[in-house]
Amino acid sequence: MNTPIPRIRPIHPVRCGIVPPHVLDQLARSEDPVLAGPARRTLERDAAQRTRRQITAVRGLAAPSVPRQAGPAAAPQRTVYDARHKETLPGKRVRTEGGKPVRDASVNRAYTGLGATFELFLSAFARDSIDGAGLPLDATVHYGEEYGNAFWDGERMVFGDGDGEVFRDFTLALDVIGHELTHGVTQYTANLEYLGQSGALNESVSDVFGSLIKQHEQGQSAEQADWLVGAELFTDRVQGDALRSLKAPGTAYDDDVLGKDPQPATMEDYVHTSSDNGGVHINSGIPNHAFYTLATDLGGNAWERAGQIWYDTLTSEELAADAGFADFAAATLSAARARFGAGDEEAAVLRSWSAVGVTPAEATRAARAPAAGSRTAEETPAVEGS
């Protein structure tokens, strides 16, 4: 009898930043140099980081670690570094696992956020770190001068201090830390391509689990949660509540300088664009709202049923790397049925996708090798996410 060989997907390193490019572009066009200067420099740094990640990608792709069932001894291994406003990573090591809090609040917040992310994945989903095999969690604070972003570069979290005019210190938002680290989870599981609908799903999954990490840490039910991403980031100068809203996509901000939040909540307003890798930061509002609808429909703690369905979907290996919304919706139905049976959860999943105008595909596509003529990992540029 031939033993099936486990499928191992290559990892495509993606540099993922929490602030969408369209926000930074808008700021960079401001006539106020106090706003435009930091935004332009942030965009330049982001472009340089994308280039470095592309070089890493073409030199070779690492195979993912083999996930294991988390044992009772599973614990985070955190290290926080200080870039001291330079752009060399990782910087000076300033706090390690088990070390006492330091005077720098940014360091302590980063350390706590790494721990909260580890704890949610461990306690709710029995996942040992973001790779499922105990990967150490590293973070660097005080990156660059007035750097207005935070990102996951495939290896670590990196936080800017913001410009103080539009953005505050990026370590302030726990869901931002969770969002970025979840890009790592996706990297090691479904590895959704960062383009079009699969890219929007990649972004949405990070928003979903970032929100769950915040809710889990604060002991909030689905009804109690604000469902905002990055609510702590804007200064008082900005007319807005957060970077994104899962509850009401398109309402997170409406500002004279930033413009209006462009996210749609349903397929009726799907944005067709060639920019932003096919609108990955914009159209992610649709699956975001589907998850919010499911979580509030089921009630209770969102990570227990709605989150479990999304996690099972992400780790099921049923999804193709280029899965669209309909494929993901079908996979969530399968996941709900497999875990909870044909009942309330499956019906609620179907209602949630119907509410945003997505009809689940008849069958999910199994992950497959790139089709003839498609771009390989070496040919596909590493891109920025949020």
Cβ 29 vs Cβ 261: under 8 Å: no
| Catalytic choice (179, 216, 281, 289) | 281
DSSP lists the bridge partners of residue 95 as 80
- Helical (H) or strand (E) element with 117: helix 105-125
Strand intervals (E) in the chain: 15-17, 78-82, 92-96, 137-141, 150-152, 157-159, 228-229, 244-245, 254-255, 259-260, 384-385
Alpha carbons 283 and 269: distance in angstroms, whole number: 9
Give the span between the Cα atoms of 225 and 293, in whole angstroms. Answer: 13
- In the annotation, is 268 catalytic? no
Catalytic residue among 146, 165, 180, 318: 180
Amino acid found at 204: S
Instruction: Note if 180 is an active site residue.
Output: yes
Q: How far is CA 348 from CA 124, 214, 247, in A?
A: 20, 23, 16
Q: Are 254 and 172 in contact (CB under 8 A)?
A: no
CA distances from residue 259 to 18, 30, 168, 288, 366 in whole angstroms, order as listed: 17, 11, 19, 21, 40
Cis peptide before 370 (omega within 30 of 0): no
Q: What is the phi/psi pair of residue 136, to 5°?
A: -60, 145
Beta bridge partners of 167: 234
Instruction: Output the CA torsion sign for 136, 146, 383, 92.
Output: negative
* Residue type (1 letter), 146: E
Spatial separation of the C-alpha atoms in residues 374 and 352, rounded to whole Å:
33
User: Strands 137-141, 150-152: parallel, antiparallel or unpaired by DSSP?
Assistant: unpaired
| Residues taking part in catalysis | 180, 281
